Amino acid sequence: MVIDPDECIDCGACIPECPVDAIFADTDVPDSEESWIDRNADESIDAEIAEGDTPVLASD
Ligand code: SF4
C-alpha cells in the first residue's frame, strides 16, 4: 500500500488501522525508515486506488 502525498489530508485515521504499525505521519517517520518517504511518493503516482468501507483498506 502507498499513500498519495498530494491527496492525503493528514487526518491520521489510517495510522491506528494498520495492523502492523507501518503507517506514520511524515513528521513521525523513524530515522531508519525515512527512505520510504520518497519511495512512497514515487510509487503512488501509478498506484491503483483502494476502495472499500475504511479510509485505507479495499474490501476485497
Ligand atoms: S486516512 Fe491516512 S492517507 Fe487518508 S487522508 Fe487520512 S492520513 Fe491521509
Q: Which atom of ligand 1 is nearest to the CA of 25?
A: 7
H-only helix segments in 1-60: 35-44
Residue 50 pLDDT exceeds 80: no
Residue 7 pLDDT exceeds 80: yes
Alpha carbon nearest to ligand 1 atom 3, residue? 8
SS3 (DSSP) at 36: helix
Phi, psi of 27 (to 5 degrees): -80, -10
The mean pLDDT of 23-35, rounded to a whole number, is: 94
User: Which residue out of 14, 51, 54 has the highest number of ligand 1 atoms within 8 Å of its CB and is therefore the one to mutate?
Assistant: 14
Helices and strands, number each (H, E), in the chain: 1, 0
Distance from C-alpha of 16 to C-alpha of 35, rounded to nearest angstrom: 22
Residue 53 pLDDT exceeds 90: no
**All domains in the chain, ordered by first residue:** 1-46 (3.30.70.20)
pLDDT of 55: 56
Pocket (CB within 6 angstroms of ligand 1): 3, 8-14, 55-56
The mean pLDDT of 11-22, rounded to a whole number, is: 92
Residue 36 pLDDT exceeds 90: yes
